[in-house]
Structures are given as structure tokens and as C-alpha cells.
């Protein structure tokens, strides 16, 4: 048995290490380790709760905004306020913009090179590539000349001998299955997507001043509308938002989805690989009648066990018996013993690095081996992310979700069980992008209509001053980050943060085993994955990338009692 170590796992956010045990060309066991810690929650203690969004937004710059949203919701829940309709709509527009941007960038810039052989594209026929492009989409950039020019540029780049980001790639690996022309098409769209992605985020700049890390506000949104003023969001800015949404719809429908379906058609074997866990969790999001009205969410909330889509369980973030975090294999220690699980409101953390002293070759996976804690829902390991959202939505009977899922299954001619796989996860991300870009347009139209009715308010003022708050209060802010279910828990005492905790998507998915030895999503999904060439982890990163890892989010600590965090000296 060989131990394959993949560290760094590239084309992700953060620092992830995978150790896999390979036997007979297949993965027999796997270990996922987050190898960086910062301690954001510790830093939040004692600060103004209204500032928290800015700190936690810096948890992740790839899924920027989602932590800010969870944070302002947690504070609003604690101080018991709701936000005006315009603020809800702007937040939904920001949310959908983030999804569309993040999913497209993930597909082309973080995931595509697992499926696309760049070197093969060099020998593609531009005319045949043009024919292929026209057969799957009406995207205008599809002439033979366009592909020929791109190929020449790529050739000059390769011939320079400086391969940059493509150096040491797995080119020619037997797991690459695309025809040359599909490879050239995908490389062309890698560059198109790179240019387009900087446009869609302008929506964040309009409402939040900048991207990455736009501004949020407890009680609403910081921007103001004024149709009689150039110094606020006016018709011109709204027109720009409308134009960017239109361009985004075109890009998703003419480029991303046709490419996804075409590439998926060549990799149907991956619909039987990488399924992993059989439990799925989604908090849901995109309220249409206020955040308190869960029934109105575009993404429904719920949990699925054993892949039984006929039953979707209720999920309650405030129930201390539902969500707990374990640290049996995490570099922390609990005062109640490392075998116990703690609800985030009762959580505690002390650093306890017991790993090998760097530089090292292998982790001691029998002991603690990650900076990620291990969250569980009713002690079940759960997968979160686009697939979980689509499945929960499907199970809840959302017509919009059922339509896009069924259409894709039919087009690929695969059964519904194909969803439980690496390919299914990657496809689900594309399908929900189709939905979010449509919803983006819908929320924009709603915003225009609301402004038309004369309602311009973007902020709830009554509880802005902390002197109006209860001496002690607590709240939860739930949302769906592009990578899955995200929640922040806050406790406020004397108008300051007494305790602040995050349980984030990649903690659910990338965490180490729990106290019972149950694997989390990454580890479970790698079991059975083929490894065709010794030393080349192409298949491993394919499955890992299908989750869209975001490790800076996943690692954090908190210390509700204000204990000094111990630093364990490594021998």
C-alpha cells in the first residue's frame, strides 16, 4: 500500500493536505487536513458587534460577502430587528452575484484543468473546434479564426519554454478523455471567463463600494437610493446593474452550461465515482418575504439522510442537540474531554498542536491531524454545497429546482443516482448557477418595482445604538455560501461580543474523522477513486475540487471563557 500525499492541493482557497492510501490502483483510505489557523473568533471577543461583519468577511476572499451576510444576520437576530424590503433585495442581489461569479470561476479556473488537457488543445483543428462550438451554443465568439488566433497564442506561450501556471500539469494523463477540439474550446473559455468575471462583480462595487470585500451594515445595506441625485444609487447605476445581469445570463447560458454539459458527456464514468456520504444538509437562503419566513426561501432548508429524497428533515440552528463540533482528530482540546461534542453556543477551544514538527513527510493520522473541527448534525456526517442544496430543494418539491435537475439528467441520459458523485457535484453547481442568475434578474426587477412604488429605505434605524439592546442577547445567522451551509453564532454581553463562532461549509466537508471514526465528505468521497498513474494525483484533485474547497473559512477557534490559548511546543 502506498501513501499518496497531495500538499498543497492547488486551485482552492487556503491550505489543504490530502493523504490517501492507494491499493490496487484505487484509494482505500483517505485523510483530509487543514494546515493553517488564524484565530479570528478569538479576535472578535470584546468588540462592537456591529463591526463583526468586516472581521469575519476576511475569513474568505473567494467567497467574499457570505460571512458578512451571516454576521449581520446573527446580530440582527440577537437584537431582534428585520431589514427593509430594499435591503433584503440588495442582499439577495449581492448573494446571487457572488454565486454566479464564484461558480463560473470555480468551473473554469479552479476545476477545468482536472478535465481539460491544455497541451492537447495545441493540435486541435480550429475549423472543427468552431463546428463543435456552434453545435452546442450560439455564443458569438466561435469562428475558426477566433480559435486559430487563440491556438497561435497558446503555441507561442508553450514554445517560449516558460509554461507558467501550466507547468508540470498532468498533460497526456490517461484520465483525460476530451477530444482535442473540446480542449481548445475549454481553453478559449478559460480566458473568456477570466475576462468576464471581473465585470459581474461590479454589482458588488455599486452596492458595496468594492469587490473583493464589499461593505455590509447591521440593520440594512450601506447604500442609499435617490432618483433625484447623482450622489446615490440612481437610474444610471441601476441600468449598469441591469446590463451586467443580462451579460451574466448570456455567459451562463451560452458558455458555462453548454461547456459543462459537453464536458460532462465525456466523463460519465465519473457519475459513479466520488459519491461519498449519503447525508446532505442545507440551511437554505434567498428570502422573498423576510428572513424570518423560511417557507419563502428560494433555496429550501432541510436535511436528507441515506439519500432518501422522499423525506426532508427540519433543521434548527438554535437547537443545542442538532449541530455539534467534535475535536477528537483536531488540534484543539476541550475542558469536557476531547471525545465530547459541543454546540457552538457552548463551544470552547484551545490550540493543541500535536502534529509532527515541520518539515515532515506524513501526519500521524491515528491521532489529531487537522486544524478543522468536525461538525455533525445529530451526530451524522453531512455533505454541504450545491449538490446538497439541489437535493434538498428537489426533496422539498421546488419546481424550479426540479426542472433544471430533470432537464440535465435527461440531456446526459443518466439516472437520478448519477447525482451522488463527483460529476453530480460539479453538475449541481452549474445547475444552481442557472437558477441564481435567473433569480438575480428577478430580484433586480423586484427592486425596480419597489423603488417605483416610492419605497427607498435601505436601513432600519431603531436599534442602531447599542444602548437600545438587551444587556445580554444571542443570535444565529444562517446562510448558504457557494460552498454550502454556513452559520455564525453570536453572544452579546454589555453591548460587546462575548462569544462568536462560525461553522462553515468546508468544515463540514473537509474535516477529519469524528470521535466514532466516521469520515467527513472529502475523506469518504475519495474511497474507491481510481489512481491511474503513481505519483500523479489527478483523480484525487478531481473529486476534491468537485467540493470547491475553501480552507481559510474552515479553520477558526473560539474561546467563550476568555481562557488563555495554550501554545503547545512541538518536540
Partner 1 sequence: MEKNIPTIRQAMEAKGYSRRDFLLFCGLATAAAGLELSGLAQVVQAFETKARPPVVWLHFQECTCCSESFIRSTHPIVADIIFDTLSLDYTETLLAAAGAQAEKCRDDTIKNNQGKYILLVEGSIPLGNEGYCMIGGKSAEQILKEAAAGAAAVIAWGSCASTGCVQAASPNPTTATPIKKIINKPVINVPGCPPIAEVMTGIVTHILLFGKMPELDSQGRPKEFYSRRVHDTCYRRPYYDAGLFVEAWDDEAARKGYCLYKMGCKGPTTYNACSVTKWNGNLSYPIQSGHGCIGCSEAGFWDNGPFYQHLGAFPGFGIESTADTIGVTAAAVTAGGIALHALTSNLRKRKLIEKNKEESVVVAPISEETDKKEVVETEKGGDEDGKSSS
Query: Among 36, 336, 470, 532, which residue interacts with partner 1 (rule: CB under 8 A)?
Result: 36
Beta-bridge partners for 29: 21
List the interface residues with partner 1, window 519-558 (CB under 8 A).
535-537, 541, 552, 557
Give 108 or 297: the residue with its C-beta nearer to partner 1.
108
Site string for partner 1, 384-423 (x = CB under 8 A): ----------------------------------------
Residues 450-479 that bind partner 1 (CB under 8 A): 456-459, 461, 464
Residue 547 near residue 17, CB atoms below 8 Å: no
**Residue 281: which H helix or E strand, with range?**
strand 280-282
Nearer to partner 1, 182 or 497 (CB): 497
Point out the catalytic residue in the list 71, 506, 521, 546: 506
Q: Give yes or no for a cis peptide into 212 (omega within 30° of 0).
A: yes
Sheet holding 496-503, edge to edge: 472-481, 484-493, 496-503
In terms of Cα–Cα distance, which of 267, 128, 529 is closest to 259? 267
- The residues near 419 (Cβ < 8 Å, ≥ 6 apart) are 387, 390, 391, 405, 409, 427, 428
Nearer residue to partner 1 within complex by CB, 207 or 280:
207
297-336 positions binding partner 1, by CB under 8 A: 331
For the CA atoms of 5, 8, 14, 17, the dihedral, rounded to the nearest 10 degrees, stands at 10
Running DSSP on this structure, what letter comes out for residue 115? T
List binders of partner 1 among 172-231 (CB under 8 A).
191, 194-195, 197-198, 201-202, 204-215, 217, 219-220, 222-226, 229-231
Count of residues of this chain found to bind partner 1 when the rule CB under 8 A is applied: 108
- Per-position b or e across 195-212, b if 16+ CB within 10 A of its CB: ebbeebbebbebbbeebe
Closer to partner 1 by CB, 272 or 448: give it. 448
Among 113, 384, 435, 485, binds partner 1 (CB under 8 A): 113
Nearest partner of 106 among 136, 63, 149, judged by Cα: 63
Question: Active site includes 491?
Answer: no
Q: Give the 3-state secondary structure of residue 138.
A: coil
Query: Is 63 noted as a catalytic residue in this protein?
Result: yes
Binding partner 1 (rule: CB under 8 A), the pick from 140, 156, 454, 561 is 156
Active-site entry in 60, 96, 223, 473:
60
Q: Tell me the HSE value of 535 on the side-chain side, using a 13 A CA sphere.
A: 2
Annotated catalytic residue 223: no
User: Interface residues for partner 1 in 224-263 (CB under 8 A)?
Assistant: 224-226, 229-233
Annotation says 473 is catalytic: no
Q: Does 10 bind partner 1 (CB under 8 A)?
A: yes
User: Least distance to partner 1 from the beta carbon of 456, Å?
Assistant: 7
Active site residues: 13, 60, 63, 67, 483, 506, 550, 553
Amino acid at each position: 500500500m502506498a501513501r499518496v500525499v497531495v500538499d498543497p492541493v492547488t486551485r482552492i482557497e487556503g491550505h489543504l493536505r490530502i493523504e490517501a492510501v492507494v491499493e490496487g490502483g484505487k484509494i482505500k483510505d483517505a485523510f483530509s487536513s487543514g494546515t493553517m489557523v488564524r484565530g479570528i473568533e478569538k479576535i472578535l471577543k470584546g468588540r462592537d458587534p456591529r463591526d463583526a461583519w468586516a472581521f469575519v468577511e476576511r475569513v474568505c476572499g473567494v467567497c467574499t460577502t457570505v460571512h458578512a451576510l451571516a454576521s449581520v444576520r446573527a446580530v440582527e437576530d440577537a437584537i431582534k430587528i428585520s431589514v427593509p424590503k430594499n435591503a433584503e433585495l440588495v442582499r439577495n442581489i449581492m448573494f446571487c452575484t457572488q454565486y454566479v461569479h464564484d461558480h463560473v470561476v470555480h468551473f473554469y479556473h479552479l476545476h477545468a484543468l482536472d478535465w481539460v488537457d491544455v497541451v492537447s488543445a495545441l493540435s486541435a483543428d480550429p475549423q472543427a473546434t468552431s463546428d463543435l462550438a456552434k453545435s452546442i451554443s450560439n455564443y458569438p465568439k466561435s469562428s475558426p479564426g477566433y480559435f486559430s488566433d487563440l491556438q497561435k497564442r497558446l503555441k507561442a506561450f508553450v514554445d517560449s519554454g516558460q509554461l507558467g501556471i501550466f507547468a508540470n500539469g498532468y498533460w497526456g494523463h490517461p484520465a483525460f478523455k476530451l477530444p482535442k477540439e473540446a480542449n481548445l474550446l475549454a481553453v478559449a473559455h478559460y480566458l473568456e471567463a477570466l475576462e468576464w468575471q471581473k465585470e459581474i462583480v461590479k454589482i458588488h462595487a455599486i452596492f458595496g463600494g468594492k469587490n473583493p470585500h464589499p461593505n455590509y451594515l447591521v440593520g440594512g445595506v450601506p447604500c442609499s437610493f435617490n432618483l433625484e441625485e447623482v450622489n446615490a444609487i440612481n437610474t444610471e447605476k441601476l441600468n449598469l446593474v441591469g446590463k451586467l445581469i443580462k451579460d451574466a445570463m448570456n455567459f451562463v447560458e451560452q458558455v458555462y452550461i453548454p461547456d459543462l454539459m459537453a464536458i460532462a458527456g465525456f466523463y460519465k464514468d465519473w457519475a459513479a465515482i466520488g459519491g461519498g456520504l449519503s447525508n446532505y444538509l442545507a440551511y437554505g437562503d434567498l428570502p422573498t418575504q423576510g428572513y424570518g419566513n423560511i417557507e419563502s426561501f428560494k433555496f429550501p432548508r432541510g436535511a436528507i439522510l441515506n439519500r432518501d429524497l422522499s423525506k426532508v428533515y427540519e433543521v434548527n440552528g438554535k437547537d443545542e442537540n442538532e449541530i455539534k463540533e467534535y475535536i477528537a482528530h483536531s488540534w484543539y482540546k476541550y475542558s469536557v474531554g476531547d471525545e465530547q461534542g459541543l454546540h457552538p453556543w457552548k463551544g470552547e477551544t484551545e490550540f493543541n498542536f500535536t502534529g509532527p514538527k515541520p518539515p515532515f513527510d506524513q501526519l500521524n493520522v491515528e491521532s489529531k491531524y487537522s486544524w478543522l473541527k468536525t461538525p455533525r448534525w445529530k451526530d451524522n456526517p453531512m455533505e454541504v454545497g450545491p449538490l446538497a442544496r439541489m437535493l434538498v430543494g428537489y426533496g422539498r418539491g421546488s419546481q424550479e429546482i426540479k426542472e433544471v435537475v430533470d432537464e440535465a439528467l435527461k440531456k446526459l441520459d443518466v439516472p437520478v443516482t448519477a447525482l451522488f458523485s463527483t460529476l453530480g457535484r460539479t453538475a449541481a453547481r452549474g445547475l444552481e448557477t442557472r437558477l441564481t442568475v435567473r433569480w438575480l434578474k428577478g430580484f433586480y426587477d423586484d427592486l425596480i418595482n419597489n423603488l417605483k412604488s416610492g419605497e427607498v429605505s435601505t436601513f432600519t434605524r431603531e436599534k442602531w445604538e447599542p444602548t437600545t439592546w438587551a444587556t445580554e442577547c444571542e443570535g444565529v445567522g444562517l446562510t448558504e455560501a457557494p460552498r454550502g451551509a454556513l452559520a455564525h453564532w453570536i453572544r452579546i454581553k454589555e453591548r460587546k461580543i462575548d462569544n462568536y463562532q462560525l461553522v462553515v461549509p468546508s468544515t463540514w466537508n473537509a474535516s477529519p474523522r469524528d470521535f466514532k471514526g466516521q469520515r467527513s465528505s472529502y475523506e469518504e468521497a475519495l474511497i474507491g477513486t481510481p489512481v491511474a498513474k503513481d505519483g500523479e494525483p489527478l483523480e484525487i484533485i478531481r473529486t476534491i475540487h468537485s467540493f470547491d474547497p475553501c480552507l481559510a473559512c474552515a479553520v477558526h477557534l473560539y474561546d467563550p471563557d476568555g481562557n488563555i490559548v495554550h501554545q503547545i511546543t512541538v518536540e
